Chains A and B, each alone.
Chain A
Amino acid sequence: MTDKVLMKGNEAFAETAIRAGCGYYFGYPITPQSEIPEYMARELDRRGGAFLQAESELGAVNMAYGAGAAGGSVFISSSSPGIALMQEGLSFLCCAGVPATVLNVSRCGPGIGGIQPGQADYFQATRGGGNGDYHVFVFAPDRLQEAVDLIYEAPLIADRYRNPVMILADGMLGQMMEPIVLPEQRPLIKPADIPAYKPWTVTGKADRGGKRNVVQSLYMQPEDLSRHVEEMYANYTRAEKELARYEADGLEGAEIVFVAFGTTARLCRETIELLGDRGVKAGLIRPVSLWPFPYRAFDEVGPDTKAVVSVELSMGQMMEDVKIGVNGRKPVRLIHRVGGLVPTSVEVMDEAIAILEGI
């Protein structure tokens, strides 16, 4: 017996967010993540936080903005089209420097798309669907334990940089079950402790002896806005150094190197075993952070590698970053499925062999 529990992904995400100290959750139902608002409705109020079903994802992200600006540790979740609606708010959160933890249990698109797994929110997550110069920090777990660990860490990162952190999961992770170890409950911050912990928040100026706080994203003077955006990017430059994360396996001597994130990376691991059985050595680069993207991982690709292959449930959105990382040193190819289809590891193997034969 261990202290492991078997939980559905979405419920594990919700429980972890509570344990991470996120006392405020604003949500709206959308497949495949509706278990999260349901879980929060059952749990959050009785554990000292506050749950509210918002009128829309627009409402939810702006409630998060208000709660976050007022010093609460906030968590919001949705799936692809709902995250699209939240982009306005994410741009505001970034510009105003309001931390939040955001979870996208992504499905396939565009439009309503479908409810099956997809990774075509890569651009939305890493390039941002909102206006202006900003970045959300994006992490993409490939297993439930890693998702739990990242959600637990996310509020700390968000607070440290005063910027939203997004966990990009997919419908498979949200719906699957896997044994996990849940982290300890962090205390929920009390309203009276907010001014000391987050002195920039709006809590009423009496908390600061009459010194007023304003949380804003409007700068009418070009010089002021320019200075503010440059400061935001100094913060992002620091994040690029500190937050870029990846796993690299079997790169030495690999004929072919797969690049994949999330559940697709797990598929590639099985493909690598299958290729090994056929005498083809393959490696894997798995970006854990999608923004900042771990470009330096590609410096480890060795002379034996004939091709770097991005494996994605999209039309090759991440491949653009892979090409930047490879920087012309190797051919970059794509193995992909869209529409909610997921290839088998055998199919990926067959396509990988075809790529090697074509080079």
Chain B
Amino acid sequence: MKPIFTITEGMLPVSTSYCPGCTHGISHRIVMECLDEAGKLGEAIGVAPIGCSVVSHQFMNVDMLESAHGRAPAVATGIRRVHPDKVIFTYQGDGDLASIGMSEIIHAANRGETFTTFFINNAIYGMTGGQMAPTTLVGQKSTTSPDGRDPGAVGMPMRMSELIASLDGAVYVERVALDTPAHVRQAKKAVAAALEIQEKRLGFTFVEFLSTCPTNWGLTPANALKFVEEKLIPYYPLGVFKTPERKEEAV
């Protein structure tokens, strides 16, 4: 019999420890499949963040290291100086990247660092237990915004793809979602495109995944996917914000 599906060697043969309905498993697999299909699993060096995916190296079958909260882009910058020929990526959540690591991500993008950042935006802090993130929606309840996010007190949710795309050093910026099979297929195309552009060393590449956190959102896995579609996507529009051919914002 001819196999119609095989699990990528990029994922280690273990179950992930993420919550039921969490989309980390999908984004992990997409990244690993793309590296596998490009024949780059052996050349890849990944940087895990602080957050649920600090343990991503237990599932991603490539060389990896753990970084301190928010510092992954600085760590990847250091790796790139030593290894100009390798495939380097960071995998970061929204608290890690958009709050405590804002300085590191903005400066890495602005320098045009030639690694790829995969940004998991689920609008909440996961590992620490559901606190408000810079990306938490207006009115969205969290353990540190129990009455819902009040933009008068804490400002509006931050749109990182748009912010990154405004920097000259960023050459590929796309926001995708993981709520439907069609969106997942598009997400994989975005990852493949980002890694292909990394190969050309044109500048900084960035893919934002609108993701779920059913546990901390207090929703079933199915309703969490609906939340992505009905709440996250309207505020965080999907699309390519920048490509090497088309640097202007276009959605």
Contacts and interface: CB of A to CB of B under 8 A. Distances in A.
- Same complex: yes
Interface of A: 24, 26, 50, 52, 54-56, 58-60, 62-72, 74, 88-89, 92, 96, 191, 194, 202-207, 210, 212-218, 220
Given A62-B104, A191-B85, A216-B57, A26 B64 contact: no
Nearest to A72: B82
Given A96-B65, A215-B66, A59 B104 contact: yes
Contact of B75 (A50, A62, A206, A220): A62
Interface residues of B, number: 34
A205 B84 CA distance: 16
B86 A203 contact: yes
A54 B55 CA distance: 27
A210 B78 CA distance: 23
A67 B79 contact: yes
Given A66-B74, A212-B64, A214-B63, 10 more contacts: A59-B104, A65-B78, A69-B75, A92-B68, A202-B79, A203-B86, A205-B41, A206-B43, A214-B57, A214-B66
B25 to A, nearest CB: 19
Contacts of A71: 82
24 contacts: A24-B78, A24-B82, A58-B104, A59-B71, A62-B68, A62-B104, A63-B78, A64-B78, A65-B75, A66-B47, A67-B79, A67-B81, A69-B65, A69-B78, A70-B79, A72-B78, A191-B84, A191-B85, A194-B82, A202-B45, A203-B63, A210-B42, A216-B57, A217-B66
B44 interface: yes
Contact of A68 (B43, B54, B78): B78
A220 B43 CA distance: 28
B145 interface: no
Contacts of A96: 65-66
A212 B62 contact: yes
Contacts of A66: 47, 65, 67, 74-79
Contacts of A68: 78
B148 to A, nearest CB: 32
A71 B82 CA distance: 7
A67 B57 contact: no
A9 B81 CA distance: 27
A65, A68, A74 pick with most chain B CB within 10 angstroms: A65
B103 A204 contact: no
Contacts of B68: 62, 88-89, 92
Interface centre among B63, B67, B107 (most CB of A within 10 A): B63
Given A66-B47, A70-B45, A58 B63 contact: no
Given A59-B74, A66-B77, A194-B82, A204 B44 contact: yes
For the complex of A and B, list the 5 residue pairs with the smallest distance between their C-beta atoms, beginning with the closest.
A206-B42, A66-B78, A67-B78, A66-B75, A63-B78
B85 to A, nearest CB: 7
Contacts of B76: 66
A81 B74 CA distance: 20
B131 interface: no
Contact of A58 (B54, B55, B71): B71
A205 B63 contact: yes
A204 B78 contact: no
A69 B82 CA distance: 10
B75 A63 contact: yes
A218 B78 contact: no
A93 to B, nearest CB: 10
